A and B are shown apart, each in its own frame.
Chain A
Amino acid sequence: MKDSTAVRMDRVTKRFGSVVANDAVSMNIHYGEILSILGENGSGKTTLMNMLAGIYYPDEGDIYVNGRQVTITSPHDAYELGIGMIHQHYKLVDVFTAAENIILGLDSDKITYSLDEVNKKVEEICRQYGFDIDPKAKVYEMSVAQKQTLEIVKILYRGADILILDEPTAVLTPQETEKLFDILRAMRSDGKAIVLITHKLNEVLELSDRVTILRKGKYITTIPTPVATEQILTEAMVGEKVTLDIDRPMPENTVKRLSVKNLTVYSEDGIKALDDVSFDAYGGEILGIAGISGCGQKELLEAIAGLQVTDKNTSIIYYDKDGSEKQLIGVSPREIRNYGVHLSFVPEDRLGMGLVASLGMTENMMLKDYDKGASPFLNKSDSAKLAEDVKKELDIATPSLETPVRRLSGGNVQKVLVGREIAAEPTILMTAYAVRGLDINKSYTIYNLLTEQKMKGVAVIYVGEDLDVLLALADRIMVLCSGHENGILDARTVTKEEVGRRMTNLTEEK
């Protein structure tokens, strides 16, 4: 019989540049147990587990598997140690059959392979744990849940005893989730060590034996599930409130600018990315949107900007300055923009959306009003003047207006992006992750810009990741939880725990 400790991580640290993703984290994983790793976005859950799976290599600290100190430099090493990880993005080849995917990359002395043998072994694994998978089916014919099952079978086929699942239920229906949990329980009774990366409290409480909590890259605590309550977990997860010194004047003369009703959006996989979301936005206030990443924030903003196909019951009414009401559904993104609804979205790679990296500031300013003017030739002087204004006003550090924006620092790139939208004098300004990757001082510049807009009577919708910022910047906070609106709260009075709880747990009264 094996010792029950499968993995011991000792003071493991991982840095990406100046960002510390994991700071001296120590934890244990046991056989015959389901361990949840709980934490907010960016708390370092996935990074920590990626070091076990051989995707990343720790900068400091030691990892022991089955009592032996090990060096895991590749996914291959991880397999050899019996560790398998199921990532959020499945690693499968579409045109291969299930069986071909399963044996991919496996060592063997034989040059050829017999799919019959593989199929037999796969069916055996399926029988043992109650999987339902056809080894001869092609991956592109499979549903999301089937692909996930295939990933699990693939790992078991390789003889893994330690399974790590990264947010496995994010793409599953409730029925599929139940089925997955049954399988995980069966594997637990079979003595396997199972790690579940999640931010859903109900899953933690329902399934796991112990829960380890990370916050901002640091290990916080490990609690046996029987003594854990939602309250304890939420508090450990979001931590103490940090007071930020953001100037937040009371909203004045608020006017209704936007009324969203029954907004429903389906993702590519046919799952509801947004489910019946309704809210109003007012000029002169900042509406914060809180939620775990991928809970529909992007779809929400894009739906308003006209970039998403919405369900037929959805209605988005825009109240113009002249008092007229305009339905935004079915209107082209350009027209919506011309109404004064502006979106600045800062994606993970920062430059992917909204700016052309190899163009200078002037040309990037031009991207959004190239259709102005009657002549077929470009009129650069207006854009150059605009760029000059934005540069001066926001104090953007660039050698010249023609310098490609990719050569600017992250903060300056974001100022260009937000500044361009502000310069267009919007009535509704939507921004997502505007301070992504910025240090605290530069972030304040952006916060102040947004507050300035609010005081000018603009309806600002701010999607952010940091709860402390949302609580200090916004006037009202709408919480999204798995595509549902889970409460619209007064940002001045609500507690951080309350927002955190609503982010992770759908309240029943909805």
Chain B
Amino acid sequence: MTLTSLVAWIAAAITFGTVIMYGSVGEILTEKSGNLNLGVPGIMYLGAIGSLAGCFFYENGNPAPNPWISACIAVVCALTAALLGGLLYSFMTVTLRANQNVTGLTLTIFGGGVANFFGGSLVKLSGGVGQISVAAASSAIRTRIPFLSDHFGIVSDLLFSYGFFTYLAVVIALAANYFLTRTRYGLNLRAVGENPATADAAGISVTKYKYLATCTGAMIEGLGGMYFVMDYIKGTWDSGGALEALGWLAVALVIFTSWKPKNAVWGAYLFGFCYWIYLYIPSGISAVLAKFFGAANVTHMQNLYRMIPYLVTIIVLIIVSKKKRKENQNPASLGISYFREER
């Protein structure tokens, strides 16, 4: 394996990891309030299609679109679309006390359906598959850090060859971590997710915290969807379900991090690294493994490699549940709607 391909592997892992880092950090905030939102893929889809549609209508109706205005439109539209998804989920589960799993799964199906319906239309409008429809916004969002990104050889390639939303994801993750562990509001939020009755008795508005955490979380997830469209696939639309797969990986990552946003940073990159292993693993090793597993050829091994992120999650789950440290478990009231006790 050459150094170049290792660098390419790491770079691919980081871009991939960024998408799920957004999804995962958003979902950690949501789950810390006791809401198990399985609508992450759907909300990421909403953010993705929101940003794409917003930019498309701006750039298509404008002969010389300003990339930065287009990028702002992308961000605002993604946040709004995802917020609507988060509000819908909160309203269903907190106000109407609907079942969280059912609501979340429905939201995933809904988001995917809406996004692919409009995404397909946009692809047609722009002249067919593979046409870059929102080049201006995408190029603005993929802007690299000047100077740092091209003066330091391999260091630049490894650390500074990404669009600035890649770094924002890390900032958001660390900020979320600080919020949860160091601030009063974070403490209150954790109490709501652990024991809403106690939080209620302590004068914390359970409903308010659940709504705010879920909607903020949804907006962060929406940014992940936008990043996917604008950076990961460079301003096109993918109707192959790749984003849904990433959304589920984000949910798996939440468990992997044991609900700690700081772990999502390296965890997301590790997932990315594992995900791309099938492209970068030296063919010699694959050939040996193929022989060992009795696979007919090396490409069959690639399908096995794709399981690795999920295998890692399962292994982590086993280790965590063996250790039985309460701090690493899910919030105690995760998935349970809160009723104030009435007689």
Contact = CB atoms under 8 A, between A and B. Distances in A.
Interface of A: 16, 21, 55, 74-76, 79, 87, 91-96, 100, 103-106, 108, 110-113, 138, 140
Interface string B193-207: 011011111111000
A111 B184 contact: yes
28 contacts: A21-B343, A55-B201, A74-B203, A75-B202, A75-B203, A76-B203, A79-B203, A87-B201, A91-B201, A92-B195, A93-B190, A93-B195, A94-B194, A94-B326, A94-B332, A95-B194, A95-B326, A96-B190, A103-B187, A104-B187, A104-B188, A105-B203, A105-B204, A106-B184, A112-B182, A112-B183, A113-B184, A113-B187
B191 interface: yes
Contact of B199 (A94, A104, A112): A104
A112 B187 CA distance: 10
Given A93-B191, A96-B191, 5 more contacts: A91-B201, A103-B187, A104-B187, A113-B187, A140-B326
Nearest to B185: A111
Given A75-B203, A79-B203, A112-B184, A95 B343 contact: no
Contacts, number: 70
A108 B188 CA distance: 13
A191 B326 CA distance: 40
- Listed residue (A75, A105, A112) with the most chain B CB atoms within 10 angstroms of its CB: A105
Interface in B302-343: 326-327, 329, 332, 343
A156 B143 CA distance: 56
A105 B187 CA distance: 8
B199 A105 contact: yes
The 10 closest A-B pairs by CB, nearest first: A105-B202, A76-B203, A91-B198, A91-B201, A105-B203, A93-B194, A104-B202, A105-B204, A93-B195, A75-B201
Interface residues of B, number: 23
B192 to A, nearest CB: 10
A91 B204 CA distance: 13
B204 A104 contact: yes
Contacts of A113: 182-184, 187
Contacts of A74: 203
Residue in A92, A104, A106 whose Cβ sees the most chain B Cβ within 10 Å: A104
Identify the interface centre among A55, A95, A96, A111: most chain B CB within 10 Å of its CB.
Answer: A95
A36 B326 CA distance: 38
| Residue of A21, A74, A96, A110 most packed against chain B (CB within 10 A) | A96
B343 A16 contact: yes
B333 to A, nearest CB: 10
Contacts of A96: 187, 190-191, 194
B247 to A, nearest CB: 28
A79 B204 CA distance: 13
A314 to B, nearest CB: 31
Contacts of B184: 103, 106, 108, 110-113
A152 to B, nearest CB: 15
Contacts of A92: 195, 198
A140 B343 CA distance: 28
Interface in B142-158: none
A507 B296 CA distance: 83
Contacts of A138: 326
Nearest to B197: A91
A93 B201 contact: no
Contacts of A104: 187-188, 191, 198-199, 202, 204
Given A16-B343, A138-B326, A111 B183 contact: yes
Contact of A95 (B201, B202, B203, B327): B327
A140 B329 CA distance: 13
